[in-house]
Amino acid sequence: MGEAVRLPPARQVAYGDHPDQVGNLHLPARGDGPWPAIVLVHGGFWRFGWDRTLMTPLARDLAGRGFAVWNIEYRRVGQEGGGWPGTLEDVAAAADAAAGLDRVDPARVFTVGHSAGGHLALWLAARHRIPGGAPGAAPRVHPCGAVSQAGVADLVAGAGAWLGNGACQALLGGSPGEVPDRYAAASPATLLPVGVPQLLVHGGRDDLVPPSQSRDYAAAARAAGDPVDLVELPDADHFDVIEAGDPAWAAVVAWLHERLRP
C-alpha atoms less than 13 angstroms from C-alpha of 39 in its C-beta half-sphere: 35
pTM over 0.75: yes
Residue 38: what are its φ and ψ, rounded to 5°? Answer: -120, 120
Contact (Cβ atoms closer than 8 angstroms) between residue 253 and residue 221: no
| Residue from 67, 99, 43 nearest 242 by CA | 43
Q: How far is CA 5 from the centre of its chain?
A: 27
* pLDDT of 259: 87
Q: What is the pLDDT of residues 183-240, one digit of tens each?
A: 999 999 999 999 999 999 999 999 999 999 999 999 999 999 999 999 999 999 999 9
Give the three-class secondary structure for 225: coil
Q: Which domains, ranges and CATH numbers included, belong to the chain?
A: 11-259 (3.40.50.1820)
pLDDT of 39 > 80? The answer is: yes
**Biggest CA pair distance of the chain:** 52
| Residue from 146, 124, 164, 125 nearest 44 by CA | 164
Q: What is the pLDDT of residues 96-141, one digit of tens each?
A: 999 999 899 999 999 999 999 999 999 999 999 999 999 999 999 9
